[in-house]
Amino acid sequence: MRILFFGTPAFAVASLRALLRERFIIAGVVTQPDKPQGRSRSELIPPPVKVFAQAQGISVLQPVRPVGDVFATSLRRLEADLGIVVAYGHILRPEILAIPPHGMINVHASLLPRYRGAAPIQHAILRGEAETGITIMQMEAGLDSGPALHRVATAIGPDETAGQLAERLAELGGEALIQALSLISGGLARPQPQDNARATFAPKIDREMARLVWERDAATLVRQVRAFDPSPGAWTTLNGGILKLFTAREVPGTGEPGEVLAAGERLVVAAARGAVAINEVQPAGKNRLPVEAWVRGRGVAAGQRLE
């Protein structure tokens, strides 16, 4: 079976690696364009999927948008039997989904119909879910609404960050994908329509979503820190400057919301109910570092206020 693979971030590499390990033929890879970085925006950084694919000698397409006759013709020339989409970052139109004779399937990082959308891992942590997983589904025109072919569940650790969970789900997704393909090739796949009435959504993360509002309870704030670690980083302000916080736990404590209760080996900040203990910070323009080192550099002291 010849596979056409769509994917962009490191999360997708695990699925592509699993396909190669099982000796599937990868007809081609579609990923997003290289992104400019640096102060002058002159350095182009390739997507992780591109780096991996090229190392394996696989041809790569990088359209700005996956639309149009030229792009569709390029896909047809690859003569793929099946398309697989893993965190590609674009919604594919019906005319593109219809190009492979056996359609396209998607590896989604949630137990659909919960958390349809771009950021299911972060939103599952934000809402305090105890469980998430991988769903392999048939793709259709709707947003993550196609019939489910295979689901695999996993618990979310009480202190697990989005980055840690994403690494686990990436590997689980690769395994689930191979299992689903085995079911399909054996004629054993039984697509199950999703219950749209139970659907929840996980929209793309924006900057304001990552801002810490100290008038919330400590448990909510801790989930927020976990959900945005490592990126974009839950943030607050100190003396008008941006400060990102990482590695948080709920601890006892009382004070005005945002008040620094202790600053030593860890930073303890009062919430509306309880307090949050932080072990790592990232001041604006600096690298992530332990709180103790930041405090020694006179970064903060008890009695100051985060806002």
**% of residues, the chain, pLDDT over 70:** 100
Q: Does residue 299 surpass a pLDDT of 90?
A: no
pLDDT band at 183 (very low <50, low <70, confident <90, very high): very high
Q: What is the mean pLDDT of residues 59-67?
A: 96
Q: What is the pLDDT of residue 139?
A: 96
Q: What is the pLDDT of residue 208?
A: 94
Tokens of 39: 């102060």
Helices of type H across 213-252: 218-227
The tens digit of pLDDT for each residue in 96-154 reads 999 999 999 999 999 999 999 999 999 999 999 999 999 999 999 889 999 999 999 99
Determine the 3-state secondary structure of 290 from DSSP: strand
Q: Does residue 30 surpass a pLDDT of 80?
A: yes
Q: Does residue 280 surpass a pLDDT of 90?
A: yes
pLDDT band at 37 (very low <50, low <70, confident <90, very high): confident
The tens digit of pLDDT for each residue in 81-93 reads 999 999 999 999 9
Q: What is the pLDDT of residue 101?
A: 96
Q: What is the pLDDT of residue 97?
A: 96
Could you give the domains of the chain? Answer: 2-198 (3.40.50.170), 208-296 (3.10.25.10)
- With left for phi above 0 and alpha for psi between -120 and 50, is residue 299 left, alpha or beta? alpha
Report how far residue 152's alpha carbon sits from residue 134's, in angstroms, rounded to the nearest whole number: 5
Q: Does residue 235 surpass a pLDDT of 90?
A: yes
Q: Does residue 287 surpass a pLDDT of 80?
A: yes
Q: What is the pLDDT of residue 297?
A: 87
Q: What is the pLDDT of residue 42?
A: 75
pTM here is: 0.94
Q: What is the pLDDT of residue 172?
A: 98
Residue 77 to residues 16, 27, 28, 100, 206, Cα–Cα distance (Å)? 20, 10, 10, 11, 38
* Minimum mean pLDDT range among 26-40, 112-126, 148-162: 26-40
pLDDT band at 43 (very low <50, low <70, confident <90, very high): confident
Residue 139 to residues 41, 85, 121, 272, Cα–Cα distance (Å)? 35, 9, 20, 44
What backbone phi and psi angles, to 5 degrees, belong to 283?
A: -65, 160
Residue 279 to residues 77, 87, 173, 285, Cα–Cα distance (Å)? 53, 31, 31, 19
